[in-house]
Amino acid sequence: MLKSLAIDNLTVFPKALFSFSPQLNVVVGENGTGKSHLLKAAYSVLAVSAEEGRKPNAFPPTKTLLQTRLAEKLVAVLRPETLGRLARRKQGRERCEMNFVFNEPVQSVCGGAKAVDILAFAPDSCIWLIEVKDYREHPRTKPGALALEVAKKVRDSLAAIFSARMNADDPDEKEQAGVALESRSIRVVLHLEQPARHSKLFPRAIDPANVQQELTQLIKAIDAHPKVLEQGRLQGSAWTVWMRVMVKGGSYS
């Protein structure tokens, strides 16, 4: 969650600092005071963060990369003739800057942590850490260190839960983290989807059995029997997966 956004010399803002609530935020102002520009700037920051966070990189993005991605996003959203047109026009040369803080304490501890996609609570005091990888449209042609990637997300998710229990500003978040820490067991699932048929364009490059074996070795202290599932291999799982097919004009389950 975006906690604060500081803007210097961007469009109508000479210098401004905005702090955001974890609940509802309302922006009020006269015409021409920058309400839309504030929302677009906040959207750009959140969009770049989400887009980079979804990429399966072994390391967090560099500051230079994030600056480049944010500049590109601001141009795409605010649509100036050039990036320089976003700076407030004044005599002399001035820097245009944006600084932002996310309300995620674990990020500063783990140096760019990434969490699993789903955290689920079961009635038997078990928490499920579920990571979803869908390579049907954008295949991962090289298996790489998939098990290691998932293991790191499991580690960072558990660190985030503990951090939230200690430091979260949102009472509901702190309460949910407490429930998670009181769980009696932890289960880890990688739900993996690959093209149904192997081809050069859409290969099935990942062997689920190999990934499960590697993942077991990496996180056996957390879950000695992690699961690697896909649509055709849901035996023994406690849920059903509905495939969602996108078509022009809508989608069908």
CA–CA dist 47, 215 (Å, integer)? 31
pLDDT in tens, 198-253: 776 666 678 888 889 999 999 999 999 999 888 766 666 665 555 444 333 443 33
The CA-atom distances, in angstroms, between 138 and each of 93, 202, 243 are 44, 8, 16
**Based on the domain organization, do 128 and 209 belong to the same domain?**
yes
**Based on the domain organization, do 119 and 76 belong to the same domain?**
no
Q: Which one of 86, 103, 120 terminates a domain?
A: 103
- Which domain range does residue 65 map to? 2-103
**Based on the domain organization, do 77 and 139 belong to the same domain?**
no
Q: Which one of 65, 80, 103 terminates a domain?
A: 103
**Which pTM value belongs to this model?**
0.53
Q: Considering its fold, how many domains does the chain have in total?
A: 2
Q: Which one of 85, 103, 121 terminates a domain?
A: 103
**Based on the domain organization, do 79 and 142 belong to the same domain?**
no
pLDDT in tens, 85-134: 888 776 666 677 888 877 654 444 444 557 888 888 887 889 999 988 88
Q: Which residue has the tokens 């969650």?
A: 1
